[in-house]
Copies of this chain bind each other. A is one copy, B any other.
Amino acid sequence: MRVSELVERTGVPLASIKYYLREGLLMPGTPTSATQSEYGEDHVRRLGLIKALTDVVGLSVAKAGEVLRLVDHPDDALFDTLGRAVAALPPDAPELPDYPRARAALERLGQVYDPRFAATAQLEQALAAAEKAGMPIDERRLGAYGPNVRAIAEADFAAMPSDPAAAVEYAVLGTALYDPVLAALRRLAHQDIAARRLPTVS
């Protein structure tokens, strides 16, 4: 298909398509003349992924480019590639030499503490914020959160595709898109529990 049809099929404006081509996020088409190229279903799919990463997940074009480079060239060790791809997601947390709150929490949960994981800094930041607001996470709450979060993560992992490129895509989108689902479900569960246990005005 011509680029005009690619615009029509994907809803991505021509200027954005040209920008993604220049930045290497979208692979070039097959030239058919000095001024025209032919595009295929791969391009449609790729633009869908770029839209998901930028519009839906909210990544900058630079961060989306980082993720796409990892999708295109997964490392020999998929574990490292997944870690780097998910690290491109917000929130940004300050890099520190040590994360004492996160370390204590992970030791309590029997999980590896690795300060190189982006999520370790994110956990430290979240635990420090809760503490600052006078609502530190105590042992009992951590004990309730840990195994249930792990069961959620097991379900996520079980559905991960085995193809490395698809796995990277799945890890990034699944991490970013399902967090808000889980947050909304938590609030609705609170309301469901409260409705059963607290008196309501009839």
Contacts and interface: CB of A to CB of B under 8 A. Distances in A.
A187 B133 contact: no
Oligomeric state, in number of copies? 2
Contact of A122 (B150, B175, B184): B184
Nearest to A52: B133
Interface size class for chain A? 35 or more
Contact of A178 (B137, B151, B188): B137
A98 interface: no
A190 B86 contact: yes
A112 B112 CA distance: 39
A58 B127 CA distance: 16
Contacts of A194: 78-79, 82-83, 157
7 contacts: A79-B194, A86-B187, A122-B184, A125-B184, A129-B180, A133-B177, A153-B192
